[in-house]
Amino acid sequence: MKEFFASAKTALKKPSVRFLALVIFFLLIFFVAKKRSPEELEYSSSRVERLDLIQSVEETGSLVSNLELRYGWEISGKVLEVLKKTGDQVKNGEVLARLDSAKQRARLNEGYAALSSAQAKLNLELAGPSAEAAKKSRATVDQAKAALQEVEAELDKVKASGETKISNAEKALETAKNNLSLVEGGEDSRLVKDAYLNLIDALKSSLTVFSDALIETDKILGIDNIQANDDYEDVLELDNTTVLNQTKTLYKSLHGTLRAFEFDILALKEQSTHALVDSWTLEMVLALENTQKLLSRMQLILADAEPGGDLSLSELNTLKTDISSAQASVNSSAKDLSAKKQAISTARTSLSSYRIAYDKATVELANLRKEVEADNNIAHAQALFKAAQLEEAEAGHEDLISDPRDVDLASLKAEVGRQAANVQALKDDLEKTELKALSDGILAGLDIEIGENAQANQSVAHILSSDLNIEVDISESDIVKVLAEDPVLISFDAYGEEVKFKGNVLFVEPAETEISGVIYYKTKIALDKNYPKEYELRSGMTANVRIITEEKQAVLAVSERSIIRREDGSSFVRVLMDAKSGIFEERSVLVGLSGDRGQTEIISGLNEGEEVVSFLKTE
């Protein structure tokens, strides 16, 4: 042991050994301190940036020649124009035929209008209040100050006014309820029954008028009361005997009518059927019309008569007056009958209007009670409450004239983006109404006529071309991203990855192809004709294609690893609030395009430059 310490003492005298010992000592202190300190949160983060995102589908296919295309519209519709015929030389993108696009254009116009509206709302928020709005807001503050001084004087006035309004509304509701109860039950409703009772009363009254008119007439004619006209019978017979005889005949007919239905009409009551009352009403109307004719003839007879014998001028004038009075009574009775009949029609059609009136009165009373309650609450508030109102008005004024917050603008900007995306989708829908040549070549067939209803994905165009194209099989998980005319980047194994060619998607076959139990869809890609001619391309060459299915420029994007999906389909990210301590908050986001490099578009919820957690170590 002594030899060990002696050798150690000798070794420590060497500078290199002393330095190594110090290093070991400090490392021990560091590890002990680290072990005792609380374990720090381990995470990684990335910044929210504006990026150009590209979404693509990569597959391997082969180069084929003698392109033959058979395709149709992606949508169904009525053929409006056929611009080409079989045998025509066509260019890529040239329109062959069009479907009726009125609906698509209308929807696109609506989309433009919605986009303009969303942009206008955003612009309005960005512009801030007008001078007039600021002036009105300032006036509101001044009014709040004045209201603080007037509240006690207004209290009794508001109470009395509210009670009066509610009382009037309750009366209106009660009236509407009573009216509604009268018409419920249709033909058996109280209102219809009362209308028929009024008509029965009018019939009985008309019966009396009818009878009185015949009595007044008989006083002159002396048919039933043969002694009534003894004083002037001879005078009347000296004039127009024909008219007199016709008048007597009409009188006898009406007198018979009276005797025929007077007991039936007098027997009418509330329990009588409405059809019976209607029937006797028609009879009475006809009887009154004939009575008018009878009285008119009596006027003619009296007009031709002259005083003489036992008939004095005074008696003649009295007879004329009595007939005129009878005419007026008959006219009035006829009008009353017509009014009572109209009242029945009105009663039958009153249920709907009374129901609306009752519902309206109910809503108005409920709203009025809320309004009065609110008014009373305001009026009962004392100076402290009004002071609070003043403070609120001042705060509102300050809020009005201050710059809008980002959080207030976020939803408006998101709506503009959503409407812009909708417009683009509607443009795409409109473009689908045009059947275009998907390649240069000869139109070998166009099996469609104007007015015909074309079906979606029905093959109607047949194009032959000597150009080279590429055929690839794309899996069902990727095919939903691929659309006709999507741009394509191509390389051939024969020339390596460095040599790039361009093209575009021509057509996706609707029928599936099963390969080793996996579903694929055969896709044809046209090769750009302007490729360098020094590269000789041959049928059968292996082609590596990258189909650009969608791309967006300068959009907010984060790493896909930063986005967490909820079960309801929504998404959120963890926004880093304090990098040193690792504090973050969860924030909901609206995601858009997912790019090839693991970056995903953020439509709303984040701002450029914010840090989001992309990895968080958990126990």
pLDDT digits (tens, 9 = 90+) for 14-30: 556 566 666 676 666 55
Which residue, 594, 600, 457, is CA-closest to 521?
Answer: 457
Residues 6+ apart with CB under 8 A from 406: 607
Q: Bridge-partner residues for 551, per DSSP?
A: 54
Instruction: Write down the H helix ranges in 349-433.
Output: 350-380, 383-401, 406-431
In this chain, the answer to whether the domains covering 42-65+468-619 and 69-98+434-464 adopt an identical fold is: no
Q: Helices 350-380 and 131-183, interaxial angle, to 10°?
A: 130
Query: Which pLDDT does position 389 carry in this prediction?
Result: 82
Looking up tokens 């993108």 gives 93
Identify whether the C-beta of residue 587 lies closer than 8 Å to the C-beta of residue 572.
yes
pLDDT beyond 60 at 5: no
Identify whether the C-beta of residue 472 lies closer than 8 Å to the C-beta of residue 507.
no
Residues 6+ apart with CB under 8 A from 516: none
Name the more confident of 125 and 419.
419
Phi, psi of 58 (to 5 degrees): -110, 130
Looking at residues 241-253, what average pLDDT do you find?
85
Confidence band of 12 (pLDDT split at 50, 70, 90): low
CA–CA dist 188, 546 (Å, integer): 80
Q: How many residues does the chain have?
A: 619
CA–CA dist 210, 332 (Å, integer): 11
Which residue, 220, 224, 369, 231, is CA-closest to 303?
Answer: 220
R_g over Cα of the chain: 50
Query: Which pLDDT does position 619 carry in this prediction?
Result: 45
Query: Domain ranges in the chain?
Result: 2-37, 42-65+468-619, 69-98+434-464, 105-128+403-427, 186-353
Name the more confident of 459 and 172.
459
Characterise 179 by phi-psi region: left (phi > 0), alpha (psi -120 to 50), beta (else): alpha
Residues 6+ apart with CB under 8 A from 585: 574, 575, 577
pLDDT beyond 70 at 351: no
Which residue, 432, 506, 466, is CA-closest to 89?
Answer: 466
Residues 6+ apart with CB under 8 A from 250: 290, 293, 294, 297
Which residue, 220, 195, 593, is CA-closest to 424?
Answer: 593
- The mean predicted confidence, pLDDT, of the chain is 82
Report the CATH fold assignment for 42-65+468-619.
Answer: Elongation Factor Tu (Ef-tu); domain 3 (2.40.30)
Confidence band of 36 (pLDDT split at 50, 70, 90): very low
Query: Which pLDDT does position 395 carry in this prediction?
Result: 80
Query: Which pLDDT does position 489 carry in this prediction?
Result: 93
Confidence band of 495 (pLDDT split at 50, 70, 90): very high
Under CATH, which architecture does the 186-353 domain have?
A: Up-down Bundle (1.20)
Q: Which of 301-310, 447-456, 602-611 has the lowest mean pLDDT?
A: 301-310
Which residue, 212, 299, 313, is CA-closest to 247?
Answer: 299
Confidence band of 547 (pLDDT split at 50, 70, 90): very high
Phi, psi of 59 (to 5 degrees): -150, 170
Confidence band of 393 (pLDDT split at 50, 70, 90): confident
**pLDDT tens across 229-240, in order?**
666 666 665 456
**pLDDT tens across 75-98, in order?**
999 998 998 888 788 888 889 899
Identify whether the C-beta of residue 55 lies closer than 8 Å to the C-beta of residue 593.
yes
pLDDT above 70 covers a percentage of the chain that reads: 87
The pair of structure tokens assigned to 325 is 């009075």
Looking at residues 286-309, what average pLDDT do you find?
84
Phi, psi of 527 (to 5 degrees): -90, 135
CA 369 to mean position of chain CA atoms = 31
Which residue, 214, 235, 234, is CA-closest to 223?
Answer: 214
Report the CATH fold assignment for 69-98+434-464.
Answer: OB fold (Dihydrolipoamide Acetyltransferase, E2P) (2.40.50)
Which residue, 72, 189, 167, 93, is CA-closest to 462?
Answer: 72
Looking up tokens 């995470």 gives 43
Looking at residues 243-259, what average pLDDT do you find?
87
The pair of structure tokens assigned to 286 is 């006809």
Mapping DSSP onto H, E and C, the string for 287-349 reads HHHHHHHHHHHHHHHHHHCCCECCECHHHHHHHHHHHHHHHHHHHHHHHHHHHHHHHHHHHHC
Q: Using the Cα atoms of residue 353, residue 358, residue 362 and residue 367 in order, give the sign of their dihedral.
A: positive
Looking up tokens 């330095």 gives 19
Query: Which pLDDT does position 37 carry in this prediction?
Result: 44
